Structure formats: C-alpha cells, structure tokens
C-alpha cells in the first residue's frame, strides 16, 4: 500500500512539474529547423483589419514581446485546428476560422506584421513564415510519418533587422499547449 501511495504521489508531482515547466521542457526536447519559407500575406480584408484594430486598441505597450504575445492571442482566439484541406490566406481565414499549421503560421505572421506596422516597428523587425521540420532529441520526427500532412510543419520567426536578435514561435503549439516560444536552429 505504501508503494502505491508513493507511486501515485510521484505521478502527481511529475505531472504538476510537467505542466508548470512545459515550455522549458518542450524547448529542450524539440528543435525546429527551416527547410524553406512561405510568402507572407498582407491584411486586406476589412473584417480582418477591424478585428486587428479592435485588439490593438486595447494594447498600450509597444515592446516586441508584447506584440508577439498579442499576435499569438489574436491567432488563437480566431482559429480552430483542422487536418482537412483549407485556405491559408488570413484574409479568408478570418471568415472560415479553421486552419492547419500553415494557416496558423500565415495568420500569425500577418497579424504580427500588422501590429509591427501599426506601432512603427516594421523598419526594425520582420516576420518570416518558415516551412520547417521538428527534431525530437535530435531525430527528425517527420521521417516516421507516411502521410503528406506530416511532411513538414510551419512556424514563424521574428527577427530584428539591425541586431539579428530573433524569436521563433509556433502558433499551433501555442494554441493547444500555451507554449509561446520554440527552439529554432
């Protein structure tokens, strides 16, 4: 009985630690590598622009981390994940509201670029939608899947044009696991 209690307590402790440290653990275990880039979209749909302006009006801080968080939040609130074939253009996703990783990355990049322009940071920062592959403990996980859906995974990098500082985010992972930043090499 004592063994069962200790095992149960250990499982609970490990679960709580895993939840609290999920971002750090994920960044230690999973690495993103770019195999190409996708074209970034510009917000042209009035419904999308109104949505972004409504969110931006609530934001007073213009620091890059806050804008990334704001863009992740806007993406997460707007989209729902699907494995079905769908459109990747954020100007259409504002209406359809369903996307896979390509649509999530496109929507986030468009949102982030919109906010960078709105807060006059577009000359300093740039976003790039990356076509990537995920490596778990150094092993490419895409080699274990036969379906075209798992051949790659899109994410976004945000880079300072002057200093070279960069951030990598995966809006899809953020939507489900609340992990804001990922490891990019």
The structural domains of the chain, with segments of one domain joined by +, span 31-184
Output phi, psi for 89, to 5 deg.
-80, 115
CA distance 185 to 181: 13
Does residue 106 surpass a pLDDT of 70?
A: yes
CA distance 125 to 115: 11
CA distance 157 to 19: 25
pLDDT digits (tens, 9 = 90+) for 49-77: 999 988 887 766 678 999 999 999 999 99
CA distance 65 to 13: 31
Q: Where are the beta strands (DSSP E) in the chain?
A: 30-38, 80-81, 98-99, 125-136, 139-140, 153-160, 166-169, 183-184
Please report, for residues 42, 69, 101, the alpha-carbon distance to residue 162 in angstroms, rounded to integers and kept in the order given: 23, 22, 29
Assess contact for 159 and 91: CB atoms under 8 A: no
Residue given tokens 């509201």 in the structure block: 97
Does residue 40 surpass a pLDDT of 80?
A: yes
- How is residue 135 written in tokens? 């490596």
- How is residue 119 written in tokens? 């807060």
Least confident segment among 5-14, 78-87, 166-175 = 5-14
Least confident segment among 21-30, 149-158, 163-172 = 21-30
Confidence at residue 181, expressed as pLDDT on a 0 to 100 scale: 92
Assess contact for 25 and 14: CB atoms under 8 A: no
Assess contact for 108 and 68: CB atoms under 8 A: no
Tell me the percentage of the chain whose pLDDT exceeds 70.
93
> Which of the four CATH numbers 1.25.40, 3.60.15, 1.10.3470, 3.10.620 does domain 31-184 have?
3.10.620
Does residue 11 surpass a pLDDT of 80?
A: no
């Amino acid at each position: 009985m004592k063994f069962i209690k200790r095992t149960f307590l250990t499982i609970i402790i490990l679960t709580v630690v895993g939840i609290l440290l999920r971002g750090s653990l994920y960044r230690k275990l999973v690495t993103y590598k770019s195999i190409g880039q996708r074209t970034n979209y510009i917000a042209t749909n009035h419904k999308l622009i109104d949505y972004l302006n409504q969110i931006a009006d609530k934001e007073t801080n213009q620091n890059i981390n806050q804008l990334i968080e704001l863009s992740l939040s806007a993406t997460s609130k707007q989209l729902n994940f699907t494995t079905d074939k769908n459109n990747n253009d954020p100007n259409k996703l504002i209406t359809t509201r369903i996307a896979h990783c390509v649509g999530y990355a496109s929507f986030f990049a468009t949102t982030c670029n919109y906010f960078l322009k709105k807060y006059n940071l577009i000359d300093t920062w740039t976003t790039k939608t990356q076509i990537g592959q995920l490596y778990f403990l150094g092993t490419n996980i895409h080699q274990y899947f036969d379906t075209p859906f798992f051949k790659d995974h899109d994410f976004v990098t945000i880079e300072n044009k002057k200093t070279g500082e960069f951030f990598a985010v995966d809006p899809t992972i953020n939507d489900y696991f609340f992990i804001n930043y990922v490891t990019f090499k």
